[in-house]
Structures are given as C-alpha cells and as structure tokens.
C-alpha cells in the first residue's frame, strides 16, 4: 500500500530534507510553501519524482485557514488520504525584540503557531 504525506515549508532546509526522506521511505509527497519559494519547491518535487515517487506542489499560506483547508483537500484528492502531515513551515525575524514591530511579531506567531494548529 502506497502511503501519502504532506510537508509544509518544504522548499528548502529541514522541510526539503523531510520531504526527500519520506519519498525514499516510499511515500508519495505533497510539498508546500509560499509563492516566493515556488521555484525551489518545484525542484523538490522533481527530486521526489526522480526517486520514483509521485509528488505535487501546493502553494498555500499555512496561517490562513481557508488556504490550509484547500491545501489538505488538494493533497488528498491527488495523492489519497494523508498518512503523515509534517507542519514544518516556520519563519523568524532576525532583529532585536525592541526593533520588532507588532505586525512582524503577529506574522511570526501566525505562521509558527497558528500554522501548526491549522495543519
């Protein structure tokens, strides 16, 4: 039985490594990231397909509930029921707390905390 997984924040770094490991372990993998990372995300999809697994890219903002719902539906429709979801997407502000605007702080929490909850 072929299993299916979804990895958020999969365009690079830890998310990319997790997506490739899951593919090597026999999973078909939906990879997700934001539009700004779409070209790197496409490369991850190609690497997964080179491994011999099916892969799709899904551009979505994990901090937006409607976007996450649509992402989950698309992954399930194209790969089957998801056996694994890795809520890996995360961002950070590289500046002092005193220099961090409230809007920046809210965005970090929206992606890093709300995104995990929604996924």
Separation CA 92–CA 110 (nearest Å): 11
What is the full per-residue pLDDT of the chain (119 aa) written as tens digits? 899 999 999 999 999 999 999 999 999 999 999 999 999 999 999 999 999 999 999 999 999 999 999 999 999 999 999 999 999 999 998 889 899 999 999 999 999 999 999 99
pLDDT for 1 equals: 86
pLDDT for 97 equals: 87
Task: Count other Cβ atoms within 10 Å, centred on residue 11.
Answer: 25
Per DSSP, helices labelled H in the chain are 13-24, 38-51, 65-79, 102-109, 115-118
The CATH number of 3-118 is which of 3.10.20.30, 3.40.50.1220, 3.40.50.720, 3.40.50.2300?
3.40.50.720
Query: What are residue 5's DSSP bridge partners?
Result: 29, 84
Sheet of 3-7: strand order equals 55-59, 27-33, 3-7, 84-86
**For the chain, which residues make up each domain, given as ranges?**
3-118
Contacts of 24 by beta carbon, 8 Å cutoff, 6+ apart: 51
CA dihedral 113, 74, 70, 64 (to 10 degrees): 30
Taking the model in full, what pTM does it have?
0.94
């Amino acid at each position: 039985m072929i299993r299916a997984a979804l990895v958020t924040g999969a365009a690079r770094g830890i998310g990319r490594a997790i997506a490739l490991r899951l593919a090597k372990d026999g999973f078909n993998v939906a990879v997700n990231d934001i539009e700004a990372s779409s070209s790197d995300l496409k490369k991850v999809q190609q690497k997964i397909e080179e491994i011999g697994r099916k892969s799709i890219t899904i551009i979505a903002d994990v901090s937006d509930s409607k976007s996450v719902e649509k992402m989950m539906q698309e992954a399930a429709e194209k790969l089957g029921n998801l056996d694994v979801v890795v809520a890996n997407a995360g961002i950070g502000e590289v500046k002092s707390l005193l220099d961090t605007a409230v809007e920046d702080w809210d965005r970090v929490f929206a992606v890093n905390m709300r995104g995990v909850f929604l996924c």
